[in-house]
Amino acid sequence: MIDGAFARWLASRAGQVLLDLRTEMGFADAGALKSAGDKVSHDLIRTELAKWRPADSVLSEEDEGSRLAWAAEVNTGAVSRLTADRVWIIDPLDGTREFSEEGRSDWAVHVALWARNAPSPHGLVAGAVGLPAQDRVLGTDYPPAYPPMTVEAAAAGERKIRLAASRSRPPVFLTDLAEDVGAHLVPMGSAGAKIAAVVTGEVDAYIHAGGQYEWDSAAPVAVATATGLHASRIDGSALRYNEADPRLPDLLVCRQDLATRLLAALQRHSG
């Protein structure tokens, strides 16, 4: 199975396990459901990667030590993924809070593959974003079509830009930026769900500057750029993955025709 199809298969398998878990446990104990969701999805993905891609390295949110790779007491020379040619970057359950809330569908499974010799600066060569509660998986093996302009958008700016924003941690400058560019905010959970909404045309852009890690954006960025969307840091520089320090605190994903306008606004408001 080629890597893109494998990523889609993994995201789909993990998503079904998470849906089954929600049904089995219910929503009375949110904390227990969150913990169980992280574990069951992580264990499944790690098991299948070990079985089908045993030579590859893995960077997962749920792996012990993932957040410590850059710490002074950790010898980065001993971190095998930094010398590997292929690294799977996964978030077994993105949007854990939303996963634990009955009726919410804005949570995701992220599976991405970084390769040392990839032609793009971000190094991502395959990826899939599972949206189990929406019954869909977006992947690089069959990239979605570039999001169509709606009738309203085509009517020369009569519709405001729609900016996906964190429902719990929106950047403090985002309200001012939205007023500046004539946008309105669309609160959502899960970075994967928000970038997926840009990919499908439900919103026009997603801006985040509140702190994230590589696993929060690798898979959705792989899908977004395969679709033809713009993806960068909020200063316009390239997103880079499989770094020694996996913190990747900010990003912009948007329609290509909005990138220059939004990056200019970010210069005015994010400083």
pLDDT digits (tens, 9 = 90+) for 4-54: 999 999 999 999 999 999 999 999 999 999 999 999 999 999 999 999 999
Torsion of CA 181, 182, 188, 189, to 10 degrees: 10
Please give the Cα distance from 121 to 243 (Å, whole number): 12
Percent above pLDDT 90 for the chain: 67
Confidence of residue 166 (pLDDT cuts 50, 70, 90): confident
pLDDT given for residue 73 in this prediction: 55
Q: pTM of the predicted model, to two decimals?
A: 0.91
Highest mean pLDDT among 156-160, 164-168, 240-244: 240-244
pLDDT mean over 151-170: 69
pLDDT mean over 220-249: 94
Beta strands in 20-146 (DSSP E): 57-60, 86-94, 108-115, 124-131, 136-139
Task: Give yes or no for residue 204 having a pLDDT over 80.
Answer: yes
Percent above pLDDT 70 for the chain: 89
Task: Give yes or no for residue 64 having a pLDDT over 80.
Answer: no
Mean pLDDT rounded to a whole number for the chain = 89
pLDDT given for residue 71 in this prediction: 56
Beta strands in 95-234 (DSSP E): 108-115, 124-131, 136-139, 161-166, 183-188, 205-208, 230-232
Contact 33, 22 (CB under 8 A): yes
pLDDT mean over 143-161: 67
Please give the Cα distance from 98 to 106 (Å, whole number): 6
Contact 240, 123 (CB under 8 A): yes
pLDDT given for residue 245 in this prediction: 86
Neighbouring-strand partners of residue 4 = none
Q: What is the DSSP letter of 36?
A: H
pLDDT mean over 143-167: 72
